[in-house]
Amino acid sequence: MTGPRFTGSRQVAIVGYAHSMVERHIDRPLGLLAIETVAQAITDAGLTLDQIDGFTTGSLFPSSGGRGVVDGEHMVTSDWLVEQLGVHPRWICGFQGIGQVVGAVSLAASAIATGAADYVVLHRALYNPPGRYHENPMTTAEGEAQWRAPQGYWGPISEIALPYMEYMQRYGVTREDMATVVVESRRAGSAIPWSVWHDKPLTVDEYLGARMISDPISMLDCDMPVSGVAAFVFTTADRAADLPHRPVYLAGFAQGRARPRNGIGFWDLDSIIDSGAQLADNLWRNSGLTLADVDLPQLYDGFSPFIYFWMEALGYCPKGEASRFVADGGLRPGTGKPFLSSGGAIGNGRMHGIPQMLECYLQLSRRAGERQLDGMEVGLMTQATPNFGGAALYTASKP
Amino acid sequence: MTAAGVSKPVPVADEVSEEFWKAAASHVLAIQRCDECGWFSYPPSLTCRGCRLPGRSFHYEPVSGRGRVKTWTVVREAFLPSWKDEIPYLVAVVELDEQEGLYLTAQIVGARPGDMAIGAPVEVVFEDLAEGISVPHFRLAGKRMGR
């Protein structure tokens, strides 16, 4: 193993967090829940608001049910938060791309490592509007929509259905195979007190009987749209030593390709896996770690096929063999890894990368309570798709 | 063509796509092509993805309208309300015969889900959406449009 390419590897630490309940709909503005959650995270870190001099988030994909997007209502930017809190931090920056949480982590780490800020709050706020999440009443199709909407092709569910159909057809994978993954996510999620699926595990038959939305994606292959907020506090490894909780160190991160200009909304299966493998390669070189070092791989699952795609992109198994890897015990203790111990988005609700990051923090800081796993030293989180998402590695100890 | 009086979204041409929609109105599938290296781009591009050199000029060239199914989905919930009367319907990625990786996402008309297969040959058909506006869809080659 060679040393990390990142000079800042393990120089930045997470020192506290807070997470709201995840609910289908909330009865007060999202912004107020964000203010409350951020305050809890700062207290959890043993700090006060006046010590926080940096704020970041990734607020892409605000959902407003077809109405105009209002900051504080359908999304919460760091700018909104800072303005409402009446504070004047040295550094505010929002990540605009996909892989929002990893992107915001990369910004927070850069601010801490360069001294642009000493204590950074990273938050993520998700909102589920009343009505249908993706419905769009457009009557004219302009810009990129001109290549999709007149074909009846609209929204992320069909965008994922296309490469997943290619995957199933090419490798002979069935919904029975995928049932193992989704049932495990919901089993883990049912043990999470703040999850929208708390105490609501799923059976294989329920999964197989789920309503199909865009073949081969059923309702239960999608995460449930929810409202919720999470916040984390970052600082330097040196400052972290004086704070109440065991720090978790950021070893490295990598982001996928720029989301290609792609008016047709199609990414072919090979390009998804191959460019994800490049992302993984960058991740190992940036962090100085290898796949074999990872105890806690937390894979993004906004749609269930992403679990297969990430397993193959990261190199847990060759292309086309993820379902076999799972069938051979890949998800079980002893024979496999705790890929889905957080429950992920399928087991928690659509918190866009937060379940994976939170699980890395809780397990590596030894704060997972009854769910604590033994021997967790290196955690991996991924977000979005392997071709244009992101991944980050965390460690329980400094080098 | 409509559901509950809601019109399907009508494509609005822009400076780059104008000639595509003009050709479609005459039921011709014309794809943007680099004058220098001959690379086809769909949707039309500002830079050539073939030669990657700046300052290239393009023209629109009629293509065969033939291709193969790369993958597909059966849409069973209409996220565009105007498509409610059509569900379930098929959307496929079509790889045109002219160039490897030249993909279109398009509705497949006149076919049932069980008819679909990777590699199935398809050919273009046009739907007249409004006065002077037609949209290219595809059908399985050798089958008549049964709609």
Query: What's the pLDDT score for residue A64?
Result: 80
Query: Could you report how far apart the first and last alpha carbons of chain B are, in Å?
Result: 11
Beta-bridge partners for A95: A58
Give the residue from A230, A31, A243 showing the smallest Cα distance to A118: A243
pLDDT range class, residue B80, cuts 50, 70, 90: confident
Query: What's the pLDDT score for residue A98?
Result: 83
Q: What span, in angstroms and rounded, lies between the C-alpha atoms of A373 and A377?
A: 10
How many structural domains compose chain A? 1
Local structure of residue A116 (DSSP, 8 states): S
On whether residue A199 sits in a domain, the answer given is no
Query: Among A144-148, A204-208, B79-83, B86-90, which is the least confidently predicted range?
Result: B79-83
Rounded percentage of chain A residues whose pLDDT exceeds 90: 86
Chain B residues in contact with A145 by the CB 8 A cut-off are: 9
Helix (H, G, I), strand (E, B) or coil at B31: strand
- Asked if residues B145 and B109 have their Cβ atoms less than 8 Å apart, the reply is yes
On whether residue A159 sits in a domain, the answer given is no
- Which residues neighbour A254 within 8 Å (Cβ) at sequence distance 6 or greater? A279, A280, A282, A283, A286, A390, A391
Contact (CB<8Å) A139/B7: yes
CB within 8 Å of chain B, chain A residues 202-231: 211-217
Instruction: Count CB-CB contacts under 10 A for residue A334.
Output: 5
Which class for A280: exposed (0-12), middle (13-18), buried (19 or more C-beta within 10 A)? buried
- Which residues neighbour A374 within 8 Å (Cβ) at sequence distance 6 or greater? none
pLDDT at position B5 over 70: no
For the entire predicted model, the pTM comes to: 0.95
Structure tokens of A355?
Answer: 């379940």
Q: Shortest Cα distance from B12 to chain A (angstroms)?
A: 5
Q: What span, in angstroms and rounded, lies between the C-alpha atoms of A397 and B105?
A: 48
On whether residue A196 sits in a domain, the answer given is no
Beta-bridge partners for B3: B6
ipTM of the modeled complex: 0.93
On whether residue A65 sits in a domain, the answer given is yes
Contact (CB<8Å) B8/A150: yes
pLDDT in tens, A208-238: 999 999 999 999 999 999 999 999 999 999 9
Query: What's the pLDDT score for residue B59?
Result: 95
Strands B10-11, A390-395: pairing kind: unpaired
pLDDT in tens, A279-292: 999 999 999 999 99
The CATH number given to whatever domain includes residue A60 is 3.40.47.10
Substitution target from A139, A151, A164 for chain B, most B beta carbons within 10 A: A151
Q: What span, in angstroms and rounded, lies between the C-alpha atoms of A217 and A215?
A: 5
On whether residue A240 sits in a domain, the answer given is yes
Beta-bridge partners for B90: B74, B108
- Asked if residues A167 and A269 have their Cβ atoms less than 8 Å apart, the reply is yes
Full residue range of the structural domain in which residue A81 is found = 12-131+224-395
Contact (CB<8Å) B76/A169: no
Q: Where are the domains of chain B?
A: 12-63, 64-147
pLDDT range class, residue B145, cuts 50, 70, 90: very low
On whether residue A185 sits in a domain, the answer given is no
pLDDT range class, residue A263, cuts 50, 70, 90: confident
On whether residue A138 sits in a domain, the answer given is no
